[in-house]
Amino acid sequence: MQQLQQLYREWRGADPVKTVKLPGAGSNRTYYRMTDSEGRSVVGCRGTSREENHAFVALARHFLACRLPVPEVLAVSTDEMCYLQTDLGSTSLFDALRHGRERGGAYDEAERRLLRQAMRLLPRIQFEGGRQLDFSVCYPQPQFDETNVMFDLNYFKYCYLKATGQDFHELRLEEDFQRLASDLVATDSALPTFMYRDFQARNIMVGSSTSSPLSLIDFQGGRRGPVYYDLASFLWQASARYPDAMRSELIDVYYDEACRHAPLPPREEFGQRLRLFVLFRLLQVLGAYGFRGYFERKPHFLLSIPPALVSLSQQLETGVAASYPHLEQVLLAHTTAALQRQPVSSPSHLVVRIFSFSYKNGIPADESGNGGGYVFDCRATHNPGRYEQYKELTGLDLPVIRFLEDDGEILRFLQPVYQLADAHVQRYIDRGFTSLMFSFGCTGGQHRSVYSAQHLAEHIHQQFPGVEVRLCHREQGVSTTFAPLQIPAPTV
């Protein structure tokens, strides 16, 4: 932190008046928003690898010279462990698509427009960014090759298949892995295309400019490689829940834009090659989820395993793994068994009941007989019900959600609630308790309490996949159950 402060001082000529650490995204790099006395901000990065930082700086400067929407590197420390870059804001594409995800993939037109823009931007960084790029600056290596593929496939084998106790023949599986690796690498074109490698919604920033609404960050792991990898990574990201028809539309948008940059195989052949990378990416992410969930004991990573298995099962139905017979046999056996398991129904698992209510009608009764639980009063927060346009809506409707989140009071109110709930749910799980209750009250039980109860229910469901969450918006007569997800049990 002190080194970043010193770098800022040397660049700006004065200390920042405000420095705020930005939320982490799973990497070992730390980011800070540094603001001067006139409110102008930059983002400072502190990395743990000089080579990785060098790669980012070199790539960012090359892409900026290619007129691609990336941050400008403003200053770099002598040892290259820190740098400053332009601030692209706080809203990622992942944030902007939140409501579509929460509606199970029912993305509205504004969200679809952003997705189409992302699909048009991807070929630009792949083709324009790859042109005349010195790939030797890439870290940890300049090109996607069989070594990359085998590393990820063995990661899948040891951190997922073995962790879940799936039986397989070691030598036959290794032979299929080698064939798959050769086929994936063979799809690389003669053109020097840049493979982003981490092209995902969290690494795309949404700005206010109509000419360039999206910008790209965190491309330091990129290298030369086939264009199919990034497309598969983005469209089959487990938590995105893109409907099949929408995926097809976005693939068409990508294909049409990419053809403006270079000749591509005919659409059918392009689709076949893409499916091969979808298979690979699904195995890759299952390995990552297995390691983070089963070995590092981070339960929210386990939440993504069931949807990834559904996607994998759908891909296997296309025959994409037919050239790898033992791998196909193992995957078919595993996905069939995993997806046929029924949700947990034992009375010993934890049930969390969450209510929204109106104080005029009293606090909800606890049907479990345990005497009740936490009750939170939302009435101190800004009330949408005071405005005519929201009077007939509830906290489940998008205009009310946007009002509350833009205002921000409800978000600050819920932050300590989430922290308390996480600690309490985990403690109940550890002690083998079966019932926990949270209630949110406001004046009419229509706006603020509904929003709060809904979002706590979704939060607990995401953080604790094995917990059953029963949500009741009492005054609205709406009830929902978030069933616990059945995840392949670890054997480690």
Is 402 a residue whose pLDDT tops 60? yes
| Structural domain spans, the chain | 2-86, 93-340, 351-482
User: Half-sphere exposure (CA, 13 Å, Cβ side) for 452?
Assistant: 34
Q: Is 307 within 8 Å of 262 (Cβ atoms)?
A: no
pLDDT-based confidence at residue 489 (cuts at 50, 70, 90):
low
Beta bridge partners of residue 471, listed in sequence order: 354, 480
Q: Among 74-83, 189-198, 347-356, 443-452, whose mean pLDDT is lowest?
A: 347-356
pLDDT of residue 346: 39
Q: Mean pLDDT, to the nearest integer, of 429-447?
A: 91
At 39-67, the pLDDT tens digits run 999 999 999 899 999 999 999 999 999 99
Residue spans of alpha helices (H) in 187-304: 228-235, 244-258, 267-290, 299-302
Cα–Cα distance between 246 and 420 in angstroms, integer? Answer: 38
Q: Which secondary structure element, helix H or strand E, spans residue 479, and what is its range?
A: strand 478-482
DSSP state of 92: B
Q: What is the assigned CATH class of domain 2-86?
A: alpha beta
DSSP state of 343: P
End-to-end CA distance of the chain: 38
Q: Among 327-331, 333-337, 424-428, 480-484, whose mean pLDDT is lowest?
A: 480-484
Contacts of 38 (CB under 8 A, 6+ apart): none
Model confidence pTM above 0.85: no
CATH number for the domain running over 93-340: 3.90.1200.10
Beta bridge partners of residue 423, listed in sequence order: none
Beta bridge partners of residue 468, listed in sequence order: 351
Maximum CA extent, the chain = 71
Domains 2-86 and 93-340 share a fold: no
Angle CA 425–426–429, to nearest 5: 85
Nearest to 57 by CA among 34, 15, 90, 85: 85
Question: Which pair of structure tokens corresponds to residue 351?
Answer: 């049930």
Q: Is 330 within 8 Å of 168 (Cβ atoms)?
A: yes
Cite the beta strand spans of 49-104 per DSSP E.
Answer: 73-76, 82-86
At 199-217, the pLDDT tens digits run 999 999 998 766 669 999 9
| Mean pLDDT estimate for the chain | 90
Cite the beta strand spans of 263-373 per DSSP E.
Answer: 351-358
Is 492 a residue whose pLDDT tops 60? no
Nearest to 53 by CA among 11, 84, 15: 84
Is 26 a residue whose pLDDT tops 60? no
Residue 480, Ramachandran bin (φ over 0: left; ψ between -120 and 50: alpha; else beta): beta
Question: Which pair of structure tokens corresponds to residue 281?
Answer: 């990416």
Cα–Cα distance between 396 and 152 in angstroms, integer? Answer: 41
Q: Is 471 within 8 Å of 477 (Cβ atoms)?
A: no
Cα–Cα distance between 22 and 92 in angstroms, integer? Answer: 13
| Backbone φ, ψ for residue 422 (5° rounding) | -60, -45
pLDDT of residue 353: 95
At 216-245, the pLDDT tens digits run 999 999 999 999 999 999 999 877 778 888
Burial of 294 (0-12, 13-18, 19+ CB in 10 A): buried
Omega within 30 of 0 (cis) for the link into 140: yes
DSSP state of 342: P
CA 193, distance to chain mean position in Å, is 25
Residue at 398: amino acid letter? L
Q: Which secondary structure element, helix H or strand E, spans residue 379, and what is its range?
A: none
Q: Is 289 within 8 Å of 160 (Cβ atoms)?
A: yes
At 260-314, the pLDDT tens digits run 999 999 999 999 999 999 999 999 999 999 998 888 877 667 777 888 898 899 9
Q: Mean pLDDT, to the nearest integer, of 249-259?
A: 97
pLDDT of residue 341: 60
pLDDT-based confidence at residue 257 (cuts at 50, 70, 90):
very high
Question: Which pair of structure tokens corresponds to residue 155?
Answer: 């990661």
Neighbours of 207 (CB within 10 A): 14
Tokens 């009071």 locate to 409
pLDDT of residue 337: 84
DSSP string, 102-158: HTTS---HHHHHHHHHHHHHHHIIIIITTTT--GGGSSS-SB--HHHHHHHHHHHII
Nearest to 33 by CA among 78, 64, 68, 1: 1
Burial pattern 58-70, b for ≥16 Cβ within 10 A else e, equals: bbbebbeebebbb
Cα–Cα distance between 195 and 437 in angstroms, integer? Answer: 47
Question: Which pair of structure tokens corresponds to residue 439?
Answer: 């209630």
